[in-house]
Chain A
Amino acid sequence: MSDIIGWFADIGLADRPQVGGKGGSLGELQRAGIAVPGGFVVKTGAFERFVRSLERDAPVRARIESLNADDLDGVRACCGEMRARVEAAELPRDVLEELSASHATLCGSGGPSPVAVRSSATTEDAADASFAGLQDTYLWVTTLEQTLRKVRSCWASLYSVESVTYRRKRELPEEGVAMAVVVQKMVDARTAGVMFTRSPLTGDRSVMTIEGAWGLGSAVVGGEVTPDRWVIGKITGEISVREISDKAIQHVPAPGGGIEHVAVEESARGAPCLSDEELQALRTIGRRVERQYGRPQDIEWAVERDTNAILLLQSRPETVWSAKEAAPVAKPAEDPLSHVMSIFGGQR
């Protein structure tokens, strides 16, 4: 298998060191038979080749390692320089060829079609991952040239001030610091949002919370619209909470690439953005994903505008509640009858 490109169908979570968390997860979902927008990962091998070619002109990793985390000006200057180099440099020929060919395959015979370019961090460190790459999702990238540029922008995020400072403070070696990039077909979403397969409020594993709004999911993830919110019994499918909000704006693809904010039609603002059938379909998908991963998930999803098909854009393990040490709810008692004292004993 190529160490430059990996198609979703060929990768999984185990390939995380080469394809990153996001990429591995998308591969894993596709393997589990869950619909995701088609795509591939520009693996860390591509980044390594790129860095090697940069290093031939001037040192990269040694420069970073020599930085003092407390010297903010120094870090800032160096980071600026590095990012400029990453964004300007030519891609190595083999990387360029494979990436271009894969992009063409992904777009199909109809010529270039819009893709999303997203960084996919390889680090297990959640904090680090969130510095490097959190903001690096480029939607509605319409041409190969732009795609190539956005891939370099994702790589460049490794040299953000926050990310570098973080690594320097911990004195992490730069060798092995790498970034994979997901290139994925863009979904024109009628509705999109997030789904937690446990309650974000109480950690309850018996319910799922689904939040969604009209248009692309970026409006929900970016907090630009108050999404509709539902709480749904994981097992029962019972919808116990329905909060339909006033969704004033939505993100839609802009004619020339990228996205734009438009007002939601008056009649749709207060209408639920998902039907009960779609909520139930999402629940079924959420349960399958959770079973596939063996733990609660934090999922991004979209309903395709033309087909109303539900696609998953991303799934990652839920971290907040999973990290908490849960006290046992109750222990078995030697005399099972003694449990009733919790009601009759007046200790409430």
Chain B
Amino acid sequence: MNASVKSQGFPLPSSLKVVPGTERAQAAYPYTVQFGKGDDERFWFYNSMHFPEPMSAFDMVTAEAAYCALGSSNTRVHCLPTTLGIDHRIINGRVYIGGNAVTDPAEIARRTAEFQKRAFYYYANWERLYAQWREKMLKLIQDAQALPKLALPEFEPLEHVHAGRGVASNHYLLETYQKTLEGYFRMWHHHFEFLLLGYGAYLTFFAFCKKAFPEITDQTIARMVAGIEAEIFRPDDELRRLARRAVELRVDGHFVEGEAADDVIRSLEEKAGEPGREWLRELATSRDPWFNINVGDGFYHYHRAWNDDLSMPFSGLPEYIRRVRAGESLERPVEKLRDERRQLIADYRDLLNTDEERAAYDQMIGLAHRVFPYVEGHKFYCEHWYTNLFFNKIREFGALLAQHGFFKDQEDVFQLTRYELETAIVDLMTSWSNGSPPRGPDLWPQVVAERRAALTEWARHETPPALGPVPDVIDDPAIVMLWGITRESLNQWLAAGSEPSSNEVRGFAASSGVAEGPACVVRSVEEISRLRKGDILVCQVTNPTWAPIFQKIAAAVSDIGGSMSHAAIVAREYGLPAVVGTGNATARIKDGQRIRVDGGRGIVTILQ
């Protein structure tokens, strides 16, 4: 390791200033997430994988709920030997996180004994517990769907009175809000029930492969383990199916590049007769549940689901339809993929030196295969389906509050923290009950405007990838597994800071191949419509639900993500070169610059 790199560090949290003019927006975040005493002594990194954009006051509930659940699982439930949970802080809308390592050998030993009683039980009973998990998750989704519609009638409905309900409608606002939050926090517990164990089993096999085959690429190992029919592929599969059906039903002429989804649907309803209606019925089948996938990672309220905004799936249809017409089968050759995977596993097994090694290989890949359906599948249920329901429910509160003059637009509700929102709801309940006007309309519009301005301002400022002293080693399996952050990647970040003149950006080799083209630097999900065929997508984090745009682009580059990130999986699926986990590609590459992506080596070269 380069010594000069080692002696460097990242800026201290205390040196990071709140962007002038946004102090009040910053102060809205609760004291628990403000940088403060003792934080300069710790290492933090910007979680741009999950929170690549400044987060609005409400959206930080995702950080709260997720870290609360992650920590419980690591610290108290499975008792990971070397790590407790993860702390988070927010500054300028950016979420920084830091792990709590366990280093005392006696404590590690004590936790190891606990871990083996707990985690090993999970591994040994994985299929049963995972089946149970899916039931729990579906029940949770049903519960969320069953939450009542919000209503404040002028007079309590007569039937309530005659039935002697004895509880007025305003009470249900609070109850529904609390249940909505409760469900979200619960969902995150489900999310982490298996996650670390799943990643750990996968990484065990990964580490074995790296030792046995030092030059094996990450993506090859991923291909040996990845499922063929994971839920995450389903939305895109459905889109391909719909493209085929459109051609079969001869309604494909109604799908015109650039036309809005609503117009296409109207044209099918009104001008395509029975085949048009038939296609729309097919669409309805696909939508429930597979269009409950959102266009981001589900962590921001504006990452709308396909179901709520059909523009994303419909933008992919014309190209799929063109390919169907050209005689291409869009069906994923599941059997063939399965055979290829089997062959790949067998071929690598043959290369091992001894039968003993082959036996160990069998054990490890066996466990990796057992855990992987969860690793790949949970996101659809948690980050997509449930999260959509959650944000949409909050949106309903937004609509109700907007209706009562608290702010102009239902979306404004996401500028309040979850604590403030509860206060506003109580304000409305009280005003409904006593006949006085609510107090909120005098307060929130200005606050909302101020916070929106702050978000815009924060997005214009880059934030350091990490803060505080550089740790000697990163031995926290959670951080290595989930964020792909290692001592090496930190050195890369440090080096990138010291050599701004270099025209190379390095990251993980996620999907091999070389491509050149103009960079389209996309800082938020709304910008993806700017992508043109042949562009190279440069973003903070890519997402599998962007799959429809993967057929347009020539390559993908992201700031954060490991070779197992879903972006990497989808890029491989599409055979697109991809470099992920570069740390700062969106900062260093300018929109429109010509770049070359070498996905096999993990290098992006800025050509002009």
List chain A positions with a Cβ less than 8 A from chain B. Answer: 199, 201-207, 231, 233-236, 238-242, 326, 328-333, 335-337, 339-346, 348
Of the listed stretches B215-223, B271-279, B429-437, B492-500, chain A binds B215-223
Instruction: Tell me if B600 and A199 are in contact (CB < 8 A).
Output: no
Q: Indicate whether B574 reaches chain A with its CB closer than 8 angstroms.
A: no
CB-contacts of B56-93 with A (<8 A): 80-82
Which B residues touch A345, using CB under 8 A?
Answer: 81-82, 108, 112
Interface size band for B: 35 or more
Known: A204-B213, A207-B215, A340-B204. A346 touches B108 (CB 8 A): yes
B125 to chain A, nearest CB (A): 11
B476 to chain A, nearest CB (A): 9
Instruction: Tell me if B601 and A329 are in contact (CB < 8 A).
Output: no
Which B residues touch A333, using CB under 8 A?
Answer: 360, 363
Please tell me which one of the listed residues A201, A241, A340 contacts residue B119 in the complex, with CB atoms under 8 A apart. Answer: A340
Instruction: Tell me if B81 and A332 are in contact (CB < 8 A).
Output: no
Instruction: Tell me if B220 and A329 are in contact (CB < 8 A).
Output: no
CB-contacts of B195-242 with A (<8 A): 197, 200-201, 203-204, 207-208, 211-217, 219-220, 223
Known: A206-B213, A340-B119, A344-B115. A242 touches B598 (CB 8 A): yes
Please tell me which one of the listed residues A233, A236, A337, A344 contacts residue B81 in the complex, with CB atoms under 8 A apart. Answer: A344
Q: Indicate whether B347 reaches chain A with its CB closer than 8 angstroms.
A: yes
In the complex, A202 Cα to B214 Cα: how many Å? Answer: 7
Contact with A along B118-154 (1 / 0, CB 8 A): 0110011000000000000000000000000000000
Instruction: Tell me if B214 and A339 are in contact (CB < 8 A).
Output: no
Instruction: Please give me the residue from chain B that is nearest to A236 by CB atom.
Output: B220
In the complex, A241 Cα to B214 Cα: how many Å? Answer: 14
Which B residues touch A339, using CB under 8 A?
Answer: 204, 208, 360, 363-364, 367
Instruction: Tell me if A346 and B204 are in contact (CB < 8 A).
Output: no
Which B residues touch A346, using CB under 8 A?
Answer: 81-82, 102, 108, 475
Instruction: Tell me if B208 and A233 are in contact (CB < 8 A).
Output: no
In the complex, A236 Cα to B347 Cα: how many Å? Answer: 10
Instruction: Please give me the residue from chain A that is nearest to B101 by CB atom.
Output: A346
Instruction: Tell me if A340 and B351 are in contact (CB < 8 A).
Output: no
Which A residues touch B361, using CB under 8 A?
Answer: 330
Which B residues touch A343, using CB under 8 A?
Answer: 200, 203-204, 207, 477, 481
Which B residues touch A341, using CB under 8 A?
Answer: 112
Please tell me which one of the listed residues A204, A335, A344, A348 contacts residue B215 in the complex, with CB atoms under 8 A apart. Answer: A204
A4 to chain B, nearest CB (A): 42
Instruction: Tell me if B215 and A199 are in contact (CB < 8 A).
Output: yes
21 CB < 8 A contacts A-B = A206-B216, A207-B213, A238-B220, A240-B217, A328-B354, A329-B357, A331-B357, A332-B359, A332-B360, A335-B120, A339-B363, A340-B119, A340-B123, A340-B204, A340-B367, A342-B207, A344-B200, A345-B108, A346-B102, A346-B108, A346-B475
In the complex, A333 Cα to B215 Cα: how many Å? Answer: 25
Which A residues touch B204, using CB under 8 A?
Answer: 339-340, 342-343
Please tell me which one of the listed residues B201, B211, B219 contacts residue A329 in the complex, with CB atoms under 8 A apart. Answer: B211
Known: A328-B357, A340-B119. A238 touches B512 (CB 8 A): yes
In the complex, A154 Cα to B128 Cα: how many Å? Answer: 72
In the complex, A242 Cα to B605 Cα: how many Å? Answer: 14
Instruction: Tell me if B360 and A344 are in contact (CB < 8 A).
Output: no
Instruction: Tell me if A207 and B216 are in contact (CB < 8 A).
Output: yes
Instruction: Please give me the residue from chain B that is nearest to A239 by CB atom.
Output: B600
